[in-house]
Amino acid sequence: MKEDAAMSKFKMITDGLVKNNPTFVLLLGMCPTLATTTSAINGLSMGLATLFVLVLSNMAISAIAPVVPDKVHIPVYIVVIATFVTLLQLLMQAYTPAMYETLGLFIPLIVVNCIVLGRAEAFANKHGVIESACDGLGVGLGFTCSLTVLGLVREILGSGSVFGYNFIGGHDGMLAFVMAPGAFLCLGYLMVLFNKYLKKN
């Protein structure tokens, strides 16, 4: 019985990676996915930032959900999410100012990332604190993975480097992939690959 519970929690986390992958399956949170993945490290940081907000807001919302009146639940959730986002902003400004500047506008925009509010609505307000944390972790990790992969692909094609390590000897890559059109093209083709090889049925 206890093992079952542990198993289901583990499954919740892995589900977020493939079956419920927020980027490739649920198509949520597209804006940061496209905008911040100019390199693998930027994608990874954005993913982790979202993970942070997702886990904490999921936990807080699952804890307060029973006492929140139905009619005001959206504003209350938004305030809670915005609080964690602002907390993240302050922490990043203090300890990783360079990354804060790179990700720029997209850190405050985590508030309106549909993944966060979506998970609060679809999962956290019906489940316990621990389950919600696991769910947040799973979806957050799925998001982080997709962002890192997309960032990696764009970095390899666009600047010829991997995590900042240049392997084409200082030459330029195909710059279009670092710019806006490359973001859409890469994401489109990655989705095709994902549909073909990972999505069952």
Partner 1 sequence: MAAKSNLTNMVLVLGLTCLLCSAVLGGAYVLTKEPIDKAAAEKTNQAISQVLPHFTAVEYNEDGHYYKATDGDKLVGYAIESTVVGFGGPLSLIVGVTPDGVVYNTSVLSHSETPGLGAKCTTDAKFMDQWKGFDPSIKKLSVKKDGGDVDAITASTITSRAYTLAVENALTVFNEIHSAPAGPQDDNCHSERSEESNEGGCCHE
Partner 2 sequence: MEYFLIIISAIFVNNIVLAQFLGICPFLGVSNKLSTATGMSMAVCFVITLATLVTFLINKYLLIPFNITFLQTIAFILVIAALVQMVEIVLKKVSPSLYQALGIFLPLITTNCTVLGVAINVVTKEFAFVPGGMLNLGQALVYAFATSLGYGLAMVIFAGIREHLSLNNVPKAFKGVPIAIISVGILALAFMGFSGMVK
Part of the chain binding partner 2 (CB under 8 A), chosen from 54-62, 135-143, 148-156, 174-182: 174-182
- Does position 108 interact with partner 2 (CB under 8 A)? The reply is yes
Closest by Cα among 13, 28, 24, 19 to 139: 13
Part of the chain binding partner 2 (CB under 8 A), chosen from 4-12, 54-62, 110-118, 139-147: 110-118
CB of 7 to partner 1, least distance (A): 26
Q: Which is nearer to partner 2, 134 or 143 (CB)?
A: 143
**Spatial contact of 53 and 110, defined as CB atoms under 8 Å apart:** yes
- Taking the C-alpha atoms of residue 20 and residue 179, their distance in angstroms, rounded to an integer, is 28
CB of 94 to partner 1, least distance (A): 4
Q: Which is nearer to partner 2, 61 or 111 (CB)?
A: 111
**Spatial contact of 190 and 149, defined as CB atoms under 8 Å apart:** yes
Radius of gyration from C-alpha coordinates of the chain: 18
At position 148, the amino acid (one-letter code) is: T
Q: Which is nearer to partner 1, 48 or 173 (CB)?
A: 173
Tell me which of partner 1, partner 2, none is bound by residue 184, counting a contact when its beta carbon lies within the kind-specific cut-off of 5 to 8 angstroms: partner 2
Q: 27 Cβ partners below 8 Å, 6+ apart?
A: none
At residue 178, the 3 state secondary structure works out as coil
- Taking the C-alpha atoms of residue 2 and residue 20, their distance in angstroms, rounded to an integer, is 25
Q: For 131, how many CA atoms within 13 A lie in the half-sphere containing its CB?
A: 13
The C-alpha torsion from 114 through 118 and 124 to 125, rounded to 10°, is 120
Tell me which of partner 2, partner 1, none is bound by residue 69, counting a contact when its beta carbon lies within the kind-specific cut-off of 5 to 8 angstroms: partner 1
Q: Figure out which of the listed residues 12, 51, 117, 147 binds partner 2, where binding follows CB under 8 A.
A: 117
Q: Which is nearer to partner 1, 69 or 188 (CB)?
A: 69
| Interface positions with partner 2 (CB under 8 A) | 27-32, 34-35, 74-75, 78-79, 82-83, 85-86, 89-90, 105, 108-109, 111-114, 117, 176, 179-185, 187-189, 191-193, 195-196
